[in-house]
Each structure stands twice: as structure tokens, then as C-alpha cells.
Structure 1
């Protein structure tokens, strides 16, 4: 029979004689008819399930049997009489999750949770439909535990473990891994693969710690995983494999979340995934959180999209105030997210093959996009805005990253000066922002860095913390404004730097204090009024085409050096040193090579070159010198030579040239115009 009753209280009072197996009752409301809790109940006379207040109701007389809610796999908190945040929703959540036939749980009102739920449920979706989740009054969390979220979807180790000592190198980009016994692995199984600590390295410095799936058994000692290893792990090191039972396809979406407190124990954050596969977070908007809004560790295949964080409760203590953090994660996609006055929008630690796109942060002085430097690799950032800082969390992590690509980005600062190898920047634009130290600057490691179509309002600085790359350091089509006296290098650099079609503005007393070579091709160097020269300590200064305006080159240092200016390069104007090329060194020889150069002195006192200290060699051919003069010490070419031939000189004062001899020639073969 089908009964209709006004409320749950009436349902529970149905007398025994009217409780027939299979009977159904339409309950018109939870507390009263017409409220949102209406539902269909079915009598199961053999059930002894506990009354959970929503999907299972016991009769009021304590008799045998239970009223069981009839549903089609979609749960809602309203069926538990929860129509707002007045009553905690924790028990209702646990009840729905314990029912394996439920594949989606929805909210139809604001909710409040006062417990922190560790969940191992797979194939489930929590859809809050845009309603708010409050956490005032929530139980305290363990101290310093960023995984104590309200909703924790966490897989677990199965207990099976293998450790192998490598008999051969595990090569970079290999997806075939050596194991102790391949018979213990099966295709489709998930394992946590973790390398032993780097010998002599930091406390948490290892190149490999990922959740990976077996895709092929190669032989008795090798299996293939769904991961191309990003770093070589040497023979003799060990790898430990732990079998994992992951949470899979557990999604959370459409939530507005309000944090509860401002300490590690009273604060709250919504979502944690650990040992999770194919688990997505969508449209979560958070306010006042403490730890990351979405915290992931050992996750593979995931999407975080359309999530936002505004004004978290804490942004100074490590790990606080993040929108999302991914630790040891693979193949993730973070997109269309935003933060305001947060610490980080996105943080990768030991992660790989992930993409961040169309994400934006304001109030970003703490760094919108960061990596810790625990051997991240193959990460891409496209179309974002905010301060970036990569691999700068300190030597305990290894300070290493590889193949990070940033495209179409706008921010107040770019910091990547530790062991970041093969960094690629395209269309990255960095602007000065008041109150942000070193804003407007780009700092990069000269280890395979390549930049294209980038701009910086307050300079570019190169470091060399590593030398792992096989590709050149190349900067193309970029424009940089430099502050007076700033160094182009902030550390000794032995690698060469090549600039193509780049513009430098505001040069004044800048310097390159490193042995590495500087190559400029079709570049433009613009000095300020009365600029001090560019001081150069590198082995080679090569300038082909382009222009140097109102700036001079002053060689310094103690090593032998070479200056080559070729292919239609134009040197013009004047500067404070009153010379385009000069020397300030007491050791090392200089080789001067000028060909096809146009040198135009801005006034009669400006010298095309002033060679008055040290010794060297000089050749110039096919050049045009206009105005100004030459200055060479009488003994400068002792042990060297000067060949100045095939040039055009117009109104140039030659009085400073040394007398000709067997090794010095500068009269014959030139067109000298007065």
C-alpha cells in the first residue's frame, strides 16, 4: 500500500499492524508537510540498520524493521531535515557516503560542518549547487596539519612494499623502471615510487616521489609506468615502491566556503586529495581559509577549475593562504582560477606534466605562482597574471626544476635564479609595483634559459646556480629598462648569453662581472644622458648590427678579452666617460675587432676608442668614423699589433694615435676627410 503522511514523526509512529513488507509511504515534509524534506520511504521488515535520521528511520516503538528511503543514487541534505546552517550536516554527509548506491550528493541550502571528515569513497560527486559551507564551531585540527580539511578524500597504502637498488642508471625520460620482482606488479596497479635521498643533499631532497600506474610488465626486473622520469637517478641509488589503493573519481564542485579561525588548529579549509586519481575540484570560492583551499598530495590526472580565494586568514606561516598546492602530483590542469590578497594561487612541489592557464592574482606580493624546487619538471603556465617565483624555497628541497615554460604572462616580478634548467619565457611582461621589492625585474638562471618577446620595467638579472643544460641561453625580441648601476649578472656566470633584436633602455653604470660571453645581434643599447659606461668583465663582447647610443663600453677584470663590433653596428652620441670603447684594467690583453661599424661621436671631445692602459691587438676595416677622436697609449701595442685600414674618417682628430712601425699601421688605405 502507499500511504501519505505529513512528517517523519508520523512515519515513525505507524503501528506494527500497518507496517507491511514493501509498503511505501510518501512523507510530505520532514518537520511538517510542504517543507523541503519530502521523500519516499519503503518498509524493510528484516532491516536492523541504525536510524541515521534521513535514509533510515526506526519505528518509535523500537520494533523490528526499518523505513528505508527510496532514491535513485542522488542524495540531498534536506532529506535529513537540514535546510540551512542551523543544524550541522556532518552525520548526513557520512550517511550518504556510506551508501554505495549513491553517486552524487547535492546541497539545496547553506550548510555547516563541525567535523573534519576523512573519506575513502570513490565514484562520488559532492555538488553544493552554489550554496555556502560554514565551519564556525568546527572541531580543532591537529597542530600544523594542512591535510585536516573538512573534506579529505584519501586513498591508502595496501601494505605491499618493494625496494630495489638500481643496477643501472634510471635514465631521464625513461618510463621503464627497474624493480626487485616484477611478479608483484600487475597492469593497472597503482604504486608510489620514491627514490632514496640525494647523497649529501637536503633533508627532503629526492628526484622521484610520484603516484604511478603500471602499464606493462617488461621482464622479471622491469615494469613500465605511465610516467616519463624527469631526472636521472644513478646506479646504486634505491627506489621504494608502495602499492596504493587510490580514491578515484571523487569530485567536489559549486561551493562557497567560509573559514573558521586564524590558527593552525582553529582554522579551516575545504578540500584535500591524497593518493587520488581522476579527482576534480570545480567552482569552489573560499574566504578566510587557513591552509590551501585545495590541497593535493600524490595525485594523478586531475582538474582544478573556476576556483577562487579571497583574503585568507593567514599568509605568512609556510603553507598558509594558498588557493591550491600540489605535492608530488602528475598530469594536472589548473585553469580559470583567481586569488585576492592570498599567498599563492598555485604551488607545485615535486610535480610534473601539469598546466596552469588563465589564472590571475591581485595583491600578489607573496607570489601568485610558485614551485618549491623539489625537482619539478615539465610544467607550463599560459595566459596568467601575478608574481612568479620558481624553485626558491631553499636547499632542503634541492632548489631544482627543469623545463618550466611560461607564456603570455603579466606580473610584478619574475624570480627563477636557483637551479632552474631550460626555463622558457614567451610574451612575459613584468611591471613595477609600488611596495613590492625588486618589482619590475626578471631574475633567471643562465642554464638553458630562453626568452622571447618579454619586457621588464626594472631590469633583467642573470645567475648561474647550475650547469645542466645542453641548450644555449638565448634572449630574443625583448625590451628591458635598467636602473642605474644594476648588474646584469648577480653571480659568477661561465655560460654564454646571446641577445637577438633586444632593446635595453636606461643604461647607466651597469656592469657584467662574469667570465661568460655576451653576444648581441641587431640589439639596441640606449644610455641615459651623461651615462656611465657599461663595465664588462666577460671574455667576449660581441656586437653585430644594431646600435649603441649614448653608452660606452669599459673593459675591466684580469682575463684576456675580445671585443668584436661587426655588420653595420652603429655607435653614436656621447657619455660621461667621453669614449665609446675604453679600458680600466691592469692585467690581461684585449683583442679589438671592428668591421663594417659606423661610429658617430656626438661632440668633438668624445673618443671612438681610448686605449691607454694594458696591451692588446686591434683591427678595423670597412668602418666609418665621424667626429671626435682616437686615443691610444704609445706602448699599448707592444707585443701586439694595430691594423686600421679600409676605413672612412670624417673630421676625426687622429692626434692620439701612436706612431706607425712594423706592427702598427693606420695611415695607408683609409679615406681621411677633414
Structure 2
């Protein structure tokens, strides 16, 4: 046979259509090493007498254990090799001479004799990943691993073909080590460090960094940048893996990241040179962890550290302990179509997640799902990431969270599941900035700490009986803007930071509120604007912020409701209050203005407009409003009051003003109103009204 005919026949044998069980006859005119032999199994290959083989002899193996079992290969005899045999790419025994598997960069576990989960696949995995000529690893059967593997290579795809990975009998992990995964890909951290103290303020969104001596940096290098610690134990505004893109000046470099937080002069930034893992992708894996498992015996499939451009697709896990996909110091990545159900723990800190990202940049998490887990997605000190079409059921532990370690510029679209931001505590800073949530459905939304410039659009919070306190939206009044949102039980606006320059705005929203709940807390010093919204179930609720502006808001009271209490200044323009009165209760001076056609009706708690015990001066300003009641429109019997009403309408009931510093009641329409007003005088004007 011609050599090309032999190779063609050998290829068909590997495909299972033609098997050469006997060695081919050598052409007398060719040297032995030019012959291509053919054998049925690896055992037959190893049975050749080494003394009879010429260096470079090629042999086609039809199968690993039997012809056509998928473990076939083309092998070359290297007479001088002493490489350690690994059962796949290197075959042989003691002494010189090895069979070396010839491949095109794609290997699978069958070529190492692994055909099921009965035989641990650890040695085969190590052999393939640590071979730089291998660029793609496939699994065609279920696999079991008993080791926790750490690799530092790049340029690799692991495609498990939808088969199951188990970890029965896996070695114990160290204490509190979420990186003790079956697969950990970790870049190399060098000893090269540069620390520089900033001589001037580094503003928010700057990508030019002061480094002292830019000659120590080169374009294309990757560095881990980290600012010195703040007040909290882990509080740092900057912790990112970045690439140098330009040498700007002898003292400055540009990197591929716009810093998210202002750094004051005098802060120190440490740069550590890193050789990251790059382009290592894991796909199509089913994983079953050890249940019950703990931090030592539990297992999870995958972790990355100091990694760039590493994507994950279609990992479906159950019973995992630590996060299914764990990332730290990672930049540019995708996590697509992954799931987790019923992890080993949802109470141990850090356990029971689908994915966690620490110090990460430019991540995209899409089309993922969890059931009865702790978190679907956790961002810690991460930025410029996007989460879309991800969903959690059995979500009382909170599928969507940020840690509060200065996350910024995160976007969530079209997801469902409980959501909390920056709630892990002051040790991390309790801070986040510029988070946007769109078209989200959940049972609880809390962003109560130092969340700056939070944007919520079409967020629907619907409570459920199984979760106490659900149905709540709680936000920080530091540039918060809510549009088209709703909550079935509670709205709370508090304030723990004051960094934003944009207004606090609630627009086009609807909330149902529990009786006597505080809606805007006393610590809110920034104005809160509520526009074109509906507040339902009001009964003795309070707005204790310094200033609240209501525009075209509908207030619907519960039956026999106590008045709405205002401890700060408030303006109501074009609003409607159904069955609800307003009571001023500020300790300091306050201004209450009702104008633009505001309509107030009902009995309230004996009066529609009244005040609590005497404290500060209350300025009542009624312009172009309408009041209807059989009780009291205005009841001012205590404290210091400055009352002005012009162009307004009063129907039924009575007007009672006994304690005042100024009264101006003129140009109004009074229909069947009983007056208890002071006589006109230097500080009183009550004439010029149309009295019917």
C-alpha cells in the first residue's frame, strides 16, 4: 500500500468504520520508521518489543481498551524519551523509549483510559492541562475527581459535553478557602511592586494614575492596583486588575479602567505586576457536590484568580458548597446560562452562591438561574458589570447582592429575585455608587446604606407570607431616582451618605404602606421629590425628612386613618388626599405649602390641617387648594403659627385658629363654613372672601 492509502485507512479505523487489527506489511523499499503500523488497543501497542522498534515509528491505535471505544490515537515511538508515562499522551514503561500521542491540540479523557466516573480522572486532567500543546479538552463520559487542581496556563477550552462531574472521595480543603475548587486557574503574581503616595487628588472617573516613576511600567502589562486601607478592616476604594494602555508622562500611566471613587492626596496605591491566566473557558458541565458538605469536605467546580478574558458557559450544579464559579482579580469575562439548585449550605458565610466576583471588572452574567440558594450573583469591590435575565426562586437568602466594598457602575436588567446592596457592614465600607436596576421583580429590595446615585426603573416588589418584612423598598436618599416602581407593603427612605449632585426623585410609583410606619426618616437632610405617584393604606404615617416635595401625588387613607405627620417642610402641588389630614410635628421651624389645585377631603383625626405639641414655628401656605370636610379644615390651637390662605376653597366644616403670629385669610371661597378666626387687626386679615 502507498503511505497515503495507509493513512487514509488509519483515519477510517479511528472513526470506527475500518479497523486494522494486524500490523501492516512493510514495504521492503522503505525504512522501518516510515511504516505506519496499526493495532487494536493500547495494550497491544505497549506489547511491542522496544528493541524491534525504530525511532519515529508511527502506529495507529483503534481504541484504548477495545477498537472504536473513542480512546484511539496515532502514536509515535521516541526511542530516547524518558518522560514520565501518564497513560495517555506518554505511554511506556521503565527505561528509555516512550510512545508519544500525536494530536491536533484537542484531547479527551478517553484517550487516557477514563470511560466513566469509577476511575478518578485527576491524573488525566493534570496531564492534559499541563501540556502546552493541548488547547482543547473534552469529556465524553461522566467523570469523578478526588483532587483539587491549581493551574496557571492560558489559552485553553474545557468542554465537558454536558456530562456529570462528581467529587466522591475528594481530598479535604483548607479552612475557609473558596478557591479550593476542582479547577482553579490562577495567574502568576510576581515580586515586582510599586508603591506611590498620591501628591494630588485623583478624581472620580479618571483613568490616568500617578505612579511616581512610569519607567517601571510597560504598555500591555497587567497590574493589580490597590489603595491603602480606609477606616474599616477591608475598606479599600480601589482593588482591580488593570492593563497599562499608555505611558502618559514620566510620572503617570493610563490604564483600561476609570476609577470609580475619588482618592485624596496622601493616599498610597500599590501596584503588583501579574502574569494573568487568559482565555481559559469552561463549558457544558453538570456538577454534583458532596452533600452534606462543609468548608473542608464540600466541593465546587471552578475558580479563577488573576484572570482575563475567561468565560464560563452552561455549568449546571447542585449540592455545591462554595460558589459554583468563584472569581477574584478578574477582568473581561462572561458567565452564561449557568444554574445552581439546593447547595450544601446557605448559612455559612460565602457558601451557596452561583457566582461571586471579588475585585472584578467588565463582567457579564446572563441567563442564569438558582433554586433555594444563597446568592445568584455577588459583586464585591467590582465595577462596570452587567447582569441580565437571571432569576432566583426559593429566594429568601437574596439572589442579587453587592458586598458594599465600593462597588460602582453595575447594571441589572430583566431579572427576578430578592435584591440587597452594600449590606455586609462597615468593615468593608458599606458603600456603592451608580447602580441601575431595570425591569426587576422581587419580594424585597434594600439599598439602605451608602448607596449613591441608585437608579430603579420598573422595579416591582411583591411581598410573600413566607418572608417577614417582605414587600419593602428601602433606599438611601443620595441621588436615588425611582421611576415606575411599586412595593406592596413598605417604602423607607433613609440617608447615610451625601455625595450626589442629582435630586432624590420618586416618579410614577405606587406603594402600599403599613400603619404608623416612617416613610422618610428624620436623618434625611436632602430634599425628596415624589411625583405622579400613589400612596395607599396611609394611617398615622410620618415623613420626617427635612424637606419633601409632592407633585400630583394621590394619598389614599385607610378607614378612620390618623393624619399624616410631617416633621419637616413639605410642598404639595396638585395632590389629592382622600380621607387623610396633615399634621405638622416639627421640632424646628417648618413650612407647609399646599397649592396648584391640591384637593384634601375627609375627617382626618378631627382636622385636615393641624399641628402637634408646640415646638417650632409652622408657616402654613394655602394657595389655590380645595378642602372639603364636616370636621375642621384648619385647627391651630397651640404653638407658633403663620397662616396664609389665598385663592382656596373650603366646603363645610369649620376654620379654627386660636394660636398665631400672623393670619391672612383672603380671596377664598367659603361654603357653609363655621369660622373661629381672630378679629382683624395688625397681624390678622380675614376679609375679602366669598362666603356662601
Shorter chain as denominator, the TM-score bin is over 0.9
Q: CA deviation at 1:18?
A: 4.0
Q: Indicate the residue corresponding to 1:367 in structure 2.
A: 398
Q: Indicate the residue corresponding to 1:270 in structure 2.
A: 301
1:641-652 to structure 2, matched below 5 A, reads 641-652=662-673
Distance in structure 2 (CA, Å) of the matches to 1:305 and 1:129: 16
Q: Is the 8 A contact 1:555 1:585 kept in 2?
A: no
1:356-505 to structure 2, matched below 5 A, reads 356-490=387-521, 492-505=523-536
In the alignment, is residue 617 of structure 1 matched against residue 642 of structure 2?
A: yes
Q: Indicate the residue corresponding to 2:12 in structure 1.
A: none
In the alignment, is residue 143 of structure 1 matched against residue 175 of structure 2?
A: yes
Q: CA deviation at 1:491?
A: 5.0
Distance in structure 2 (CA, Å) of the matches to 1:574 and 1:502: 23
1:42-61 to structure 2, matched below 5 A, reads 42-58=76-92
Q: CA deviation at 1:624?
A: 1.4
Q: Indicate the residue corresponding to 2:594 in structure 1.
A: 565
Q: Is the 8 A contact 1:499 1:521 kept in 2?
A: yes
Q: Indicate the residue corresponding to 2:340 in structure 1.
A: 309
Which residue, 616, 641, 644 being the options, matches 1:588? 616
Distance in structure 1 (CA, Å) of the matches to 2:587 and 2:226: 47
Q: Is the 8 A contact 2:82 2:95 kept in 1?
A: no
Q: CA deviation at 1:651?
A: 1.6
Which residue, 640, 649, 671 being the options, matches 2:690? 671
Q: CA deviation at 1:490?
A: 4.2
SS of equivalent to 1:499: strand
Distance in structure 2 (CA, Å) of the matches to 1:150 and 1:431: 39
Q: Is the 8 A contact 1:113 1:138 kept in 2?
A: yes
In the alignment, is residue 102 of structure 1 matched against residue 134 of structure 2?
A: yes
Q: CA deviation at 1:159?
A: 1.1
Q: Indicate the residue corresponding to 1:235 in structure 2.
A: 265
Q: State the Cα deviation string for residues 401-434 of structure 1 (Å, max 9, x = none).
A: 1111111100010111111111111100001111
Q: State the Cα deviation string for residues 196-250 of structure 1 (Å, max 9, x = none).
A: 111xx11111111110100000111110011111111111111110000100000
Q: Is the 8 A contact 1:332 1:355 kept in 2?
A: yes
SS of equivalent to 2:577: strand
Distance in structure 1 (CA, Å) of the matches to 2:509 and 2:592: 23
Q: Indicate the residue corresponding to 2:160 in structure 1.
A: 128
Greater mean deviation of Cα atoms: 15-24 or 164-173: 15-24
TM-score of the aligned structures, taking structure 2 as reference length: 0.93
Q: How many residues align?
A: 657
Distance in structure 1 (CA, Å) of the matches to 2:186 and 2:130: 15
Q: State the Cα deviation string for residues 51-94 of structure 1 (Å, max 9, x = none).
A: 11011111x5x453211112111010010111110111111111
Q: State the Cα deviation string for residues 98-152 of structure 1 (Å, max 9, x = none).
A: 2212111000010011100001010001000100000010011011111101100
SS of equivalent to 2:410: strand
SS of equivalent to 2:505: strand
Distance in structure 1 (CA, Å) of the matches to 2:204 and 2:683: 55
SS of equivalent to 1:448: coil
In the alignment, is residue 525 of structure 1 matched against residue 555 of structure 2?
A: yes
Greater mean deviation of Cα atoms: 224-233 or 618-627: 618-627
Distance in structure 2 (CA, Å) of the matches to 1:392 and 1:31: 56
Distance in structure 2 (CA, Å) of the matches to 1:438 and 1:521: 29
Q: Indicate the residue corresponding to 1:175 in structure 2.
A: 207
Q: Indicate the residue corresponding to 2:285 in structure 1.
A: 255
Q: CA deviation at 1:641?
A: 1.8
Q: Indicate the residue corresponding to 1:599 in structure 2.
A: 627
Q: CA deviation at 1:166?
A: 1.0
Distance in structure 2 (CA, Å) of the matches to 1:665 and 1:557: 26
Greater mean deviation of Cα atoms: 32-41 or 552-561: 32-41
Q: Indicate the residue corresponding to 2:572 in structure 1.
A: 543
TM-score of the aligned structures, taking structure 1 as reference length: 0.96
Distance in structure 2 (CA, Å) of the matches to 1:225 and 1:569: 54
Q: Indicate the residue corresponding to 1:350 in structure 2.
A: 381
Q: Indicate the residue corresponding to 1:658 in structure 2.
A: 678
CA RMSD in angstroms, aligned pairs only? 1.2
Q: Is the 8 A contact 2:422 2:432 kept in 1?
A: yes
Q: Is the 8 A contact 1:36 1:83 kept in 2?
A: no
Which residue, 573, 582, 607 being the options, matches 1:579? 607
Q: State the Cα deviation string for residues 593-643 of structure 1 (Å, max 9, x = none).
A: 111111121xx2x2111111112212111111111111111xx22xx3212
SS of equivalent to 1:91: helix
In the alignment, is residue 21 of structure 1 matched against residue 55 of structure 2?
A: yes
Q: Is the 8 A contact 1:557 1:585 kept in 2?
A: no
Distance in structure 2 (CA, Å) of the matches to 1:559 and 1:425: 32
Distance in structure 2 (CA, Å) of the matches to 1:628 and 1:379: 54
Q: State the Cα deviation string for residues 535-556 of structure 1 (Å, max 9, x = none).
A: 1111x11000020111111111
SS of equivalent to 2:607: coil
Greater mean deviation of Cα atoms: 490-499 or 345-354: 490-499
- Which runs of 5 or more residues in structure 1 are unaligned? none
Distance in structure 1 (CA, Å) of the matches to 2:560 and 2:468: 27
Q: CA deviation at 1:266?
A: 0.2
Q: Indicate the residue corresponding to 2:29 in structure 1.
A: none
